[in-house]
């Protein structure tokens, strides 16, 4: 789940219009960004998720992101939503992923990534809903609710699903 995470940021911003959208978008994918920052390759692919998606790591990422959000924005809504979106990331990954969520724990999740059409359908629905809800908000950022933004998000999800199918095909 990638664009689905971004959709949660859209939904959060529509509910709390005083929150800044950019940190919400970043917070919604922080565990994935941290995953990409770690060494890549077969050796790290399975064990590195413990450093980015397991509960102890997610708590650290959420706290660090919250402190950074407060230092930059000085807005309680933005800070609280940043922390919440980092934590929500793991819950949402239970639908699409299949990974350990605590050290020594079993892999959990529905592993929807192995079914790209279903993954695309779910994430596309989330993105469209998030985009529509934010678009109806009076103070919505123009760039985020422009039709091109929706097209880019859907194209990005399609590209990721095709790439995942290629890697595992």
Residue 98, pLDDT > 90, answer no
Q: Stretch 82-107: mean pLDDT, rounded?
A: 91
pLDDT digits (tens, 9 = 90+) for 106-129: 989 998 888 889 999 999 999 999
Residue 84 pLDDT > 70:
yes
What per-residue string of b and e applies to 78-115 under the rule 16 or more CB within 10 Å gives b? Answer: bbbbbbbbbbbbbebbbbbbebbbeeeeeeeebebbee
Helices marked H in the chain — which ranges?
A: 3-15, 21-28, 30-37, 42-47, 55-73, 76-96, 116-135, 142-145, 147-168
Region 53-61: mean pLDDT is: 91
Exposed, middle or buried: residue 57 (CB in 10 Å: 0-12, 13-18, 19+)? buried
> How crowded is residue 31: how many other Cβ atoms within 10 Å of its Cβ?
23
Domain hosting residue 144, numbered range: 3-168
Distance CA 80, CA 14 (A): 15
Supply the pLDDT for residue 22: 97
Mean pLDDT of the chain: 90
Q: Tell me which of 46-55, 109-118, 130-139 is least confident.
A: 46-55
Mean pLDDT of 41-51: 61
Q: How many domains does the chain have?
A: 1
In DSSP terms, 108 is beta-bridged to 99
pTM for the structure as a whole: 0.90
> Does the pLDDT of residue 44 top 80, yes or no?
no
Structure-model confidence comparison of residues 25 and 34, the more confident one: 25
């Amino acid at each position: 789940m990638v664009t689905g995470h971004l959709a949660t940021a859209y939904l959060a911003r529509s509910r709390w219009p005083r929150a800044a959208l950019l940190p919400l978008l970043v917070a919604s994918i922080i565990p994935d960004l941290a995953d990409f920052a770690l060494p890549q390759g077969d050796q790290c692919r399975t064990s590195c998720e413990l450093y980015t998606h397991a509960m102890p790591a997610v708590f650290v990422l959420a706290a660090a992101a919250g402190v950074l959000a407060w230092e930059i924005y000085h807005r309680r809504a933005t800070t609280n939503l940043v922390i919440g979106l980092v934590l929500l990331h793991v819950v949402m990954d239970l639908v699409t992923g299949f990974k350990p969520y605590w050290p020594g724990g079993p892999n959990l999740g529905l592993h929807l990534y192995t079914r790209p059409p279903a993954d695309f359908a779910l994430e596309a629905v989330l993105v469209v809903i998030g985009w529509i809800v934010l678009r109806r908000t009076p103070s919505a950022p123009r760039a985020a609710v422009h039709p091109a933004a929706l097209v880019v998000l859907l194209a990005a999800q399609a590209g990721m699903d095709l790439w995942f199918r290629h890697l595992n095909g």
